[in-house]
Chain A
């Protein structure tokens, strides 16, 4: 669709696919003509080259809640970039597809992006589970793919076309422990984790390594299982060893129960509870209420950062969607800017090899995540943050 302007006057994106040939396309084409004549789009179209980006996000299924804020964050970035396309010489034409939170559907979407839409680059998919399958297709076809929420181990090992801007637990957790040690002087801790789930067990492994590295003594290790509701026996044991802090690797449902029962059992609020990514959700405060105060959580994105780029993002996002952005929106927003940087550096909008090379070269790019680089293994590298719950909100604890 050369010359296609995907914005309606209302600023809403018109979702459409090439070659569908239906009424929607005709209406859209008519809109383009009208907009073109009235000059709204003509300046932008004058010189800018158009880069096609495929977005495979989970709009339905288990991860639908994440997919929605990811799409919001990405659209915000795309509109900002396209608004100044005349100066930069690059326009982004997004093609959004739903991977339905399913690997099979992800495969369909990737195949279409690569063969039919001939995209320069793919952003997504939402879930690591899906990425394990789809990213191999992109690797085989030599299409660069940028994950914006995948944190599982081994995703970028698939090949040199696979990148991600989402920090893994292996980066976030050691940082959390370092800050906690520096600020609180913790020397001995108790660890409590779910030992029948890959994510919580992985979080435990990362915590244990970080604790060893920082010479913090583990006084007691307790475990729970998925679906447990009563944590008082383990927490009673933990209380009896008087730790400086309680380290917990759990998903948010169990995390809420652990936090409230720990405080109820009399593990005083002087003993901070430190959590992994599973705690990184506002539902923790909603579920545990006052007990969640002073819980310390590592994160990839600092929601409270006052640097101008971040403030602009938070304000623009809130104005457009009526609710503040979360980490998923921020990583999607940053991902689009990272893609734009690669396209500009590659000097090409369809040479996938050049785009891949340019992506791999990105170092110290200013993004809402902070100064962003790719590591040699194409994983994200930027400073993670540590947050603390104060008055029912995440506040900055340190970087």
Chain B
């Protein structure tokens, strides 16, 4: 009996780690723009959805293998990010209220993207064809893990490391941080501010697309509104992990996922899932206002 309940707990922790990594993947791209550049882009969930639906179309409509469709759909998501920046944010950048007006115009873009998905793919739930890739199931005693789950967790961790290194070590990464610090100073230093912001949007949106494709592959139920449920969680995860912290986004995602899964496991219903997860967020923010890995606003001091 003791052994049995340990196995259940272990399985639930794996379930939580996995769904948490999905949230983390979504939040990593989100936090590049939101946490690093301080721009709230509410069209990120729409790009997440379009990335998944594009990969689906490339495999079923154009007949490509998933290994080709995956990078193409990620590139397409990146291109959407460029469109987003040029249409919704760049024209407003000179305004004093550019952050707020950009937020509103990103909502407009989200609606346009979602309507486009609705028009092209219809309101029905669509799925990847069966057997499009090999998803192995591993069993260790009574604990089950699938290869796709492992791949998703590893992708999340790899992206976390790569992005952190990118921001810390590369010239472009440093430029992004300089722009985040002060656009004016960055411009004076000869940094192409508009170019850097556009690039950040491209990278962020490509990551959003990757998260959407992996999410779509795993749950295999794609619909134009699939981004809605994850959108708010993504924001919560970023705040929970600490604004602007890439490892924080992943850690916050996992904390969020674990609290969700354990709530469902204990109560036997998914009704309280979001309530408990957001309560955890609230409690952590009260105890540590800058989030799990947030450093506070030191750079403003």
- Where the two chains meet, the residues of A that have a C-beta atom closer than 8 Å to any C-beta of B are 195-196, 220-225, 227-230, 232-234, 236-237, 239-240, 253, 256-257, 260, 264-266, 287, 289-290
CA distance A233 to B13 in the complex (A): 9
* B5 & A240 in contact (Cβ 8 Å cutoff): yes
Closest B-chain residue to A231, C-beta based?
A: B270
C-alpha spacing A264/B144, complex, angstroms: 8
Residue B261 contacts which of A222, A233, A257 (CB distance < 8 angstroms)?
Answer: A233
Q: Considering only CB atoms, which chain B residue lies closest to A252 in the complex?
A: B125
**Which residues of the partner chain A approach B261 to less than 8 Å between Cβ atoms?**
232-233
Among A223, A237, A256, point to the contact of B265 (Cβ < 8 A): A237
Which of B219, B220, B268 has a CB less than 8 Å from the CB of A234? B268
B268 touches A236 (CB 8 A): no
| A residues in contact with B219, CB < 8 Å | 229-230, 257
CB of A240 within 8 A of CB of B7, answer yes
Q: Is A289 touching B130 in the complex (CB atoms < 8 A)? A: yes
A261's nearest neighbour on chain B, judged by CB, is: B219
When the two chains form their complex, are residues A236 and B271 in contact, meaning their CB atoms are under 8 A apart?
Answer: no
Q: Which residue of B16, B130, B229 contacts A227 across the interface (Cβ within 8 Å)?
A: B229
Encode contact with A along B258-282: 1 for CB under 8 Å, 0 otherwise.
0011101100111100000000000
**A253 engages B221 (CB within 8 Å):** yes
Q: Write the B1-31 contact mask toward A (1 if CB under 8 angstroms, else 0).
A: 0001101100110011011000000000000
Whether, in the assembled complex, B94 has its beta carbon less than 8 Å from a beta carbon of chain A, the answer is no
A253 touches B229 (CB 8 A): no
How many angstroms from the CA of A281 to the CA of B219 in the assembled complex?
20
Please state if B130 and A195 are interface contacts (CB–CB under 8 Å): no
Residue of A nearest to B131 (CB): A289
Q: List 29 A-B contacts (CB under 8 A).
A: A195-B269, A221-B268, A223-B269, A224-B270, A227-B229, A230-B15, A232-B15, A233-B12, A233-B15, A233-B260, A233-B261, A233-B265, A233-B270, A234-B264, A236-B8, A236-B265, A237-B265, A240-B5, A240-B7, A240-B8, A253-B125, A253-B221, A260-B220, A264-B137, A265-B144, A266-B139, A266-B144, A287-B127, A289-B131
- Specify which chain B residues have a CB less than 8 angstroms from the CB of A196 in the assembled complex: 271
Give CA–CA (A233, B270) in the complex, Å.
9
Q: Given contacts A264-B137, A265-B144, is CB(A233)–CB(B264) below 8 Å?
A: yes
Q: Shortest distance in angstroms between A37's beta carbon and chain B's nearest beta carbon?
A: 49
Q: How far is the CB of B234 from chain A (nearest CB, A)?
A: 15
A281 to chain B, nearest CB (A): 13
Are the C-beta atoms of B270 and A234 separated by less than 8 Å? yes
**Distance between Cα atoms of A225 and B270 in the complex (Å):** 6
- Is B170's beta carbon under 8 Å from chain A? no
Interface positions, chain B 5-61, Cβ under 8 Å from A, are 5, 7-8, 11-12, 15-16, 18-19
Partner of A225 from the list B7, B19, B226, B271 (CB cut-off 8 Å) is B271
Q: In the assembled complex, how far is the CB of residue A256 from the closest CB belonging to chain B, in whole angstroms? A: 8
B130: which A residues are within 8 A, CB to CB? 289-290
Tell me the minimal C-beta distance from B54 to chain A in angstroms. 19
State the CA gap A234–B265 with chains docked (Å).
Answer: 6
Q: How far is the CB of B131 from chain A (nearest CB, A)?
A: 8
Q: How far is the CA of A240 from the CA of B15 in the complex (A)?
A: 14
Q: How far is the CA of A186 from the CA of B88 in the complex (A)?
A: 60
- Is the pair A240, B271 in contact by a Cβ cutoff of 8 Å? no
Complex Cα distance, B15 from A256, in Å, reads: 19
User: How far, in angstroms, from A256 to B268 measured CA to CA in the complex?
Assistant: 20
Nearest-neighbour CB distance to chain B for A223, whole angstroms, equals 4
B164 located at the interface, meaning its Cβ lies under 8 Å from any Cβ of chain A in the complex: no
| Cβ contacts under 8 Å, B7 to chain A | 240
A227-B229, A264-B144 provided; 18 other pairs, C-beta below 8 A? A221-B268, A222-B269, A223-B270, A224-B269, A228-B270, A229-B226, A230-B15, A232-B19, A233-B15, A233-B16, A233-B260, A233-B265, A234-B268, A236-B15, A237-B8, A239-B11, A257-B221, A289-B131
CB of B19, distance to nearest CB on chain A (Å):
6
Is B265 a contact of A266 with CB atoms below 8 Å? no
B146 proximal to A (CB < 8 A) = yes
Q: Which residue of B lies closest to A290 (CB)?
A: B130
What is the CA–CA distance of A240 and B10 in the complex, to the nearest angstrom?
12
Max count, chain A CB within 10 A of own CB: residue among B146, B268, B269, B270: B270
A256 CA / B16 CA spacing, docked (Å) = 21
What's the Cα separation between A220 and B267 when bound, in Å? 11
A292 CB, min distance to chain B CBs, angstroms: 11
**In whole Å, how far is A222's beta carbon from the nearest beta carbon of chain B?**
5
A227–B268 Cα distance when bound, in Å, is: 17
**Across the interface, which residues of A come within 8 angstroms of B127, CB to CB?**
287
Contact A237 B270 (CB under 8 A): no
Known: A240-B4, A287-B127. A223 touches B229 (CB 8 A): no
Pick the 8 closest A-B CB pairs, nearest first: A233-B264, A229-B219, A223-B269, A289-B130, A240-B8, A266-B144, A232-B15, A233-B261
- Of chain A, the residue at the smallest CB distance from B125 is A253
Q: Which residue of B lies closest to A192 (CB)?
A: B268
Minimum CB–CB distance from B264 to chain A (whole Å) comes to 4
Known contacts: A240-B8, A264-B144. The answer to whether A229 contacts B265 by CB under 8 A is no
Give the distance to chain B from A251, nearest Cβ to Cβ, in Å: 11
Chain B residues, Cβ within 8 Å of A253: 125, 221
Contact of A222 (CB < 8 Å), options: B5, B137, B229, B268: B268
Considering only residues 120-167 of chain B, those with a C-beta below 8 Å from chain A are 125, 127, 130-131, 137, 139, 142, 144, 146
Once the chains are docked, how many angstroms separate the CA of A203 from the CA of B270?
A: 18
Question: Which residues of B220-264 are within 8 A (CB) of A?
Answer: 220-221, 226, 229, 260-262, 264
What residues of chain B lie closer than 8 Å to A289, measured between beta carbons? 130-131
Specify which chain A residues have a CB less than 8 angstroms from the CB of B5 in the assembled complex: 240
Q: How far is the CA of A289 from the CA of B220 in the complex (A)?
A: 12
Our pick among B16, B146, B229, B268 for the contact of A237 (Cβ within 8 Å) is B268
